[in-house]
Amino acid sequence: MHVDVPAKVQEIYAEVLRRNPGEQEFHQAVREVLDSLAVVLGRHGEYAEMKTIERICEPERQIIFRVPWQDDSGEVQINRGFRVEFNSALGPYKGGLRFHPSVNLGIVKFLGFEQVFKNALTGMPIGGGKGGSDFDPKGRSDAEVMRFCQSFMTELYRHIGEYTDVPAGDIGVGAREIGYLFGQYKRITNRYESGVLTGKGLGWGGALVRTEATGYGAAFFAQAMMAAAGDSFDGTRVVISGSGNVAVYGIEKVHQLGGTVVAASDSSGYVVDEKGIDLDVLKQVKEVERGRISDYADRVASASFTEGGSVWDVPCEVAMPSATQNELDGDAARVLARNGCRYVVEGANMPCTPDAVDVFREAGVAFAPGKAANAGGVATSALEMQQNASRDRWSFEHSEAKLQEIMRGIHQRCHETAEDYGSPGDLVLGANVAGFLEVAEAVHAHGLI
Ligand code: GLU
């Protein structure tokens, strides 16, 4: 069968637009992958014939449900819950739950789609999925968060399981929420099924390094990327956006590797601390007190707070956007490049807009997409599943060494695939093609399903 490849890819994209109207972030994530896949169809006619790409763009199952709960004042609240089970060719659906007011079906689908390729790149036996709710945990009491999680799980439990679908955390879902979700799952099913959720507490089935894994992993990926260019973190100036789980542990590892992180942010603004962000203070403010980033500047003499504005105005050699999708646009990318930034490593999922990625490409700034660079979190979730299945418990050192090895492996695969497909140094193409090939081969082997 003769296939006109660029036309074929256009046709697939047009169909995705037609059947998923208004889901901008999902369109963006699909577009970015499709742009890399023309070279694959050129070599693998069987994937065109069997419509493998088209099948991978369509989630296997999409679940939407009502989540009613009562707040502390006795008022009834109604939120919407989602779980998109995107692809199970490589293993049970795996991916986090996001609790944030911006969550809608399009956001969950973009995250689920990215997750499929990310999980494939880890080389672990996990498929891809994502879920969450438009529930806003900000300002809610522990009791409210618990009641919400219990209501959410009262529907979700019937769709998940250690061999079916294994959720974890994401924005707004950390150890506290995973605890409440696990408790309700156990209560409803009467099963102590450790492997049904990852990111569990260390005393009840959780794995060491899971909390740190996404941030540590992104720093390890950056380290591998710099090493490939004969470079290192030693003495570099780094800006990391965000101040959640990814940012905090990204900062910790960058400091251990010899770089200095001079800025961090949240949705209210950013702080600059030329001495390097003091992690004890940041953790106290963001993790313990669940406060604002301005509280950091109130406590640290060398720090200043800028309300609003763009953290990317702060000059740096390495930028690690680790807050949320589309937080770094073309204008911010131009400022970064002008200020001498040489590496951009995505700690969050799709934080750079397509314009920003184009600017980096033209300016010769090395760029690592999130689906490769932030895969350390989910990879360590797979290690947690492994420990749960064997009722084993690994040391911090052993787990961290595994994480570093996995991140080096992902970098190497992306790097080599980019070369193999004629675009040396293009880690976006390398990640998309390597991830796709892994999934496509399994999809193809399973027949028309
Ligand atoms: N939410 C994380 C991610 O974006 C982790 C998912 C997981 O551990 O399942 O990859």
User: What's the pTM value of the predicted model, to 2 decimals?
Assistant: 0.97
Coil, helix or strand for 201? Answer: coil
Contact 436, 40 (CB under 8 A): yes
Coil, helix or strand for 324? Answer: coil
Tell me the best of 170, 171, 214 to mutate to test the pocket of ligand 1, counting ligand atoms within 8 Å of each CB and taking the most.
170
Domain 213-364 architecture = 3-Layer(aba) Sandwich (3.40)
Domain 1-58+426-449 classification at class level: mainly alpha
One-character DSSP codes across 223-260: HHHHHHTT--STT-EEEE---SHHHHHHHHHHHHTT-E
Q: Is 94 in the pocket of ligand 1 (CB under 6 A)?
A: yes
> Which residue pairs from 331-340 have beta carbons closer than 8 angstroms and sit at least 24 positions apart in sequence?
332/356, 333/357, 333/359, 333/360, 333/363, 333/365, 334/359, 335/310, 336/312, 336/365, 337/363, 337/365, 339/315, 340/315
* Separation between Cα atoms, residue 444 and residue 441, nearest integer Å: 5
CA proximity to 171, closest of 109, 98, 114: 98
Q: How far is the CA of 174 from the centre of ligand 1 (A)?
A: 11
**Can 130 be counted among the known catalytic residues?**
yes
Coil, helix or strand for 446? Answer: coil
Q: Is 114 in the pocket of ligand 1 (CB under 6 A)?
A: no
Of all protein residues, whose CA lies closest to atom 9 belonging to ligand 1? 95
Q: Do domains 61-192 and 213-364 have the same CATH topology?
A: yes
* Separation between Cα atoms, residue 115 and residue 394, nearest integer Å: 25
Q: Is 388 in the pocket of ligand 1 (CB under 6 A)?
A: no
* CATH hierarchy code of domain 61-192: 3.40.50.10860
Amino acid in the structure at residue 15: E
Contact 320, 240 (CB under 8 A): yes
Print pLDDT tens along the chain (449 aa).
566 778 899 999 999 999 999 999 999 999 999 999 999 998 999 999 999 999 999 999 999 999 999 999 999 999 999 999 999 999 999 999 999 999 999 999 999 999 999 999 999 999 999 999 999 999 999 999 999 999 999 999 999 999 999 999 999 999 999 999 999 999 999 999 999 999 999 999 999 999 999 999 999 999 999 999 999 999 999 999 999 999 999 999 999 999 999 999 999 999 999 999 999 999 999 989 989 999 999 999 999 999 999 999 999 999 999 999 999 999 999 999 999 999 999 999 999 999 999 999 999 999 999 999 999 999 999 999 999 999 999 999 999 999 999 999 999 999 999 999 999 999 999 999 999 999 999 999 999 98
* Separation between Cα atoms, residue 305 and residue 277, nearest integer Å: 12
Q: Where are the domains of the chain?
A: 1-58+426-449, 61-192, 213-364
Contact 34, 13 (CB under 8 A): yes
One-character DSSP codes across 94-156: EEEEEE-TT--HHHHHHHHHHHHHHHHHHTSS--EEEEEES---TT--HHHHHHHHHHHHHHH
Catalytic residue among 94, 109, 118, 130: 130
Q: How far is the CA of 129 from the centre of ligand 1 (A)?
A: 9
* Separation between Cα atoms, residue 161 and residue 158, nearest integer Å: 8
Tell me the best of 197, 214, 384, 385 to mutate to test the pocket of ligand 1, counting ligand atoms within 8 Å of each CB and taking the most.
214
